[in-house]
Amino acid sequence: MDGGKGAVSEARLKSERQYREEICRFGKMLHERGFVAATDGNLSVRLGDGNILVTPTGMCKSMMEADDMAVVDQNGRQISGRRGVTSEIGMHLLIYQIRPDIHAVVHAHPPTATGFAACGQPLDQPLVSEIVVALGCVPLAKYATPGTPELAEALEPLVGDYDAILMANHGVVAYAEELEKAYMKMETVEHFAKISVVCQTLGTPQLLNDAEVSKLLLARQKYAGVTSTAAMSPQKNGHRNGNSVPTRPLRSFRDAFRESKRLIYSALALFLASARLITHRR
């Protein structure tokens, strides 16, 4: 784990040109790692003057060039750029508005984490110590149509307390004081989702207890890369059912096997009963 307090002040000194190049670099990484497909996703950086440098609409994130970016003011009005601004700009503006400490936002659809979002399941179990410290709980925001003010409304209650959010039936948004860290959080969310799937598949996740989580949260305060207060204990956050669809635990293979066995036995019993009935009638 490496925080690096110096990174923030160094990041603030970057020129707009450097930010444009950084957006291209991390956009490419999102695409190469399969976190976005086609023209999905968007990235932004809050500039020193308060304006937002953001990816254009309708472009593959691995094919962008520095001059493709758009600049909008704090109300989302486009100031410059040869291409139109992403339709998801409202989500970025909301995060910058609520979190003055945040200077970069990354939105993507990484498949495993998005699968959790599509199943109405937050990533809120204390499974891995490093994730508790680096990220904390990743809550689930209720579903809203992408690109509409309703999406910002769904995110609003969660932005202050978390550094990454699952958006029901949509994807993930992660944010930090600089772009590299926002991107890293996106990677950690997807990694967390993959580990959660393995744990649920094996069927016996051993969760860290409250005392262990508390110690890790103390460690987090010393870790410069984490600015939110995102808790980890599932009992202590009220966002488990962010989606209106009720959540249900992932079934392990063992459960699935047991269930299919039960169905086969029921079908067999039904078949035998009908056969008996037919024979009896004859």
CB of 35 to Zn ion, least distance (A): 11
Instruction: Write down the least CB distance from residue 147 to Zn ion, Å.
Output: 8
* Per-position b or e across 218-231, b if 16+ CB within 10 A of its CB: eebeebebbbbebb
Catalytic residue (one of 10, 22, 88, 187):
88
Q: Which residue has the tokens 């704090």?
A: 74
- In the complex, the smallest distance separating the C-beta of residue 52 from Zn ion, rounded to whole angstroms, is 17
Between 117 and 132, name the residue whose CB sits nearer to Zn ion.
117
Q: Which is nearer to Zn ion, 122 or 171 (CB)?
A: 171
- Choices 47-55, 62-70, 171-179, 180-188 (CB under 5 A): range interacting with Zn ion: 171-179
Q: Select from 26, 70, 29, 37 the least CA-distant residue to 51.
A: 70
Tokens for 231? 């808790």
Q: How far is the CB of 177 from Zn ion (least distance, A)?
A: 23
Q: Which residue is nearest to Zn ion (CB)?
A: 171
Give yes or no for residue 126 binding Zn ion (CB under 5 A). Answer: no
Least CB distance to Zn ion at residue 189 (A): 14
Strand order in the sheet with 104-108: 78-80, 70-72, 52-54, 42-46, 104-108, 171-176, 164-167, 140-141
Listed ranges 137-145, 168-176, 190-198, 200-208: which one lies at the site for Zn ion (CB under 5 A): 168-176
Q: What whole-number distance in Å separates Cα of residue 49 and Cα of residue 141?
A: 30
DSSP conformation class of 207:
P
The SS3 of residue 167 is strand
- The question of whether 65 is a catalytic residue gets the answer no
Q: Does 171 bind Zn ion (CB under 5 A)?
A: yes
Toward Zn ion, which CB reaches closer, 107 or 220? Answer: 107
With a CB cutoff of 8 Å and minimum separation 6, the contacts of 173 are 91, 95, 105, 106, 107, 155, 164, 165, 167
Under DSSP, the state recorded for 92 is: H
Is residue 27 within the footprint of Zn ion (CB under 5 A)? no
- Measured from the CB atom, the residue of 108 and 135 that comes closer to Zn ion is 108
Task: List residues binding Zn ion (CB under 5 A).
Answer: 171
Catalytic residues: 88
